[in-house]
Amino acid sequence: MRSLAYAIACGALLAGTSAQAVSLDITGVKSGGITLGAAGAPTLANGIYADFDNDLGAAYGGSTETKVKVTPAYASFESGVAVSGPNAAAQSHSGLDVDIINNSPNNLVSIDSVGSTIIPAGLGFYMQDRTGDPTGGNAFTGYGQAGYSSFGSLFTEDLAGTTFATAGFTFDIYGDDYLENPYAEALYTLNGNLTLSFDDVGNVVRGGNIEAAGLSLNGFTTAYDNPFALAYAWGETDIEIILNQILEAGQSTSLYYRTTAYASTNTTCLDDAVTCLVAYSGFGDPIGRGGGVSLAAARGVRDQLEYNPITGIVFDPQLIDPFRVKSTVIGGGAVPEPATWMTMILGFGLLGAALRRRRVLAYS
> What is the distance, to the nearest Å, from the Cα of residue 220 to the centroid of all Cα atoms in its chain?
14
pLDDT at 266: 96
Burial 84-122 (b: 16+ CB within 10 A, else e): bbbbbbbbbbbbbbbbbbbbbeebbbbbbbbbbbbbbbb
pLDDT at 321: 58
Q: Hey, CA dihedral for 45, 48, 53, 54, is it positive or negative?
A: positive
How far is the first Cα of the chain from the last one, in angstroms, to the nearest whole number? 59
pLDDT at 270: 93
CB 120 within 8 A of CB 79: no
CA distance 151 to 163: 12
> Torsion-angle region of residue 215: left (phi > 0), alpha (psi -120 to 50) or beta?
alpha
pLDDT at 23: 86
CB 31 within 8 A of CB 66: yes
> Which of 67, 29, 33 is CA-nearest to residue 47?
33
pLDDT at 133: 92
pLDDT at 69: 76
pTM: 0.80
CB 59 within 8 A of CB 140: yes
pLDDT at 196: 98
pLDDT at 361: 28
CB 235 within 8 A of CB 292: yes
CA distance 320 to 116: 10
> What is the distance, to the nearest Å, from the Cα of residue 286 to the centroid of all Cα atoms in its chain?
12
pLDDT at 304: 39
> What is the distance, to the nearest Å, from the Cα of residue 335 to the centroid of all Cα atoms in its chain?
37
Would strands 88-102 and 22-36 be described as parallel, antiparallel, or unpaired?
antiparallel
Rounded to 5°, the CA angle 316-225-208 comes to: 80
Longest dimension (CA), the chain: 85
Kindly tell me the burial class for residue 26, based on how many C-beta atoms sit within 10 Å of its own C-beta (0-12, 13-18, 19 or more): buried
Would strands 237-247 and 163-174 be described as parallel, antiparallel, or unpaired?
unpaired
Q: How many CA atoms lie within 13 A of 315 on its CB side?
A: 23
Point out the residues of the chain with pLDDT beneath 50.
Answer: 1-19, 285-307, 339-364
> Torsion-angle region of residue 104: left (phi > 0), alpha (psi -120 to 50) or beta?
beta
